[in-house]
Amino acid sequence: MYLFFDTETTGLPSGPVSAYNKWPRIIQIGWLLIDENKDIKSKNSFIIKPVGYNIPERVIKIHGITMKRALEEGVELDYALHRFLSDVNFARLLVAHNIAYDYGVVRGELLRKNIPDFLKGYSQFCTMTSKPILDYCKSFRANGSRQCPSLSELYFLLFGEKLNNAHDALTDAEACADCYFELKRIGFL
């Protein structure tokens, strides 16, 4: 099974993931657990209730999750992490767009909670930085650059449609899954 996931956060890291206090906090986590037949076995999205930190205005402009909304709709981080790790147990491959970032953010939260990093033993695939993705996107660029695509760009290249509601963790996880399976279908993976 595949686990596609995404996070929306308080910003960007300012140090290595081992220095978890320099990594952003999760504001929203979304994921899908999908089997080989593309059947969704689990689909979850949680806004996290911020405890001991604020959501900067600059990131609210990106994902739209305000402190008020997070405090009203959010769940405890422990609950969301427990649900996420429960589904990870069924996966053989973790997939994300910029997986180094999303994995790092989740790992930072696990370290803060003194929870073992259960993700490190799993195979991972990145729909942003992997060579087949870069090769696919290169063929569409006039200058032939191998620049990493945004998820919205990759989605548009594959489906000819704008990705609506980007920067919602579940929407982005769903788009990541759509892109991954389409790239497999057309023979790039």
Residue 43 belongs to a domain with what CATH number?
3.30.420.10
Rounded to two decimals, what is the model's pTM? 0.94
Q: Are 161 and 130 in contact (CB under 8 A)?
A: no
Q: Are 133 and 127 in contact (CB under 8 A)?
A: yes
pLDDT in tens, 56-80: 999 999 999 999 999 999 999 999 9
> In which domain, by residue range, is 102 found?
2-185
**Distance between CA atoms of 41 and 152, rounded to whole angstroms?**
25
Residues linked to residue 26 through DSSP beta bridges, in sequence order: 9
Number of domains in the chain: 1
Query: β-strand 26-34 against 40-47: which pairing, if any?
Result: antiparallel
Q: Are 3 and 94 in contact (CB under 8 A)?
A: yes
pLDDT in tens, 108-167: 999 999 998 888 889 999 999 999 888 888 767 666 666 889 999 999 999 999 999 999
The confidence score (pLDDT) of residue 114 equals 92
**Distance between CA atoms of 15 and 22, rounded to whole angstroms?**
5
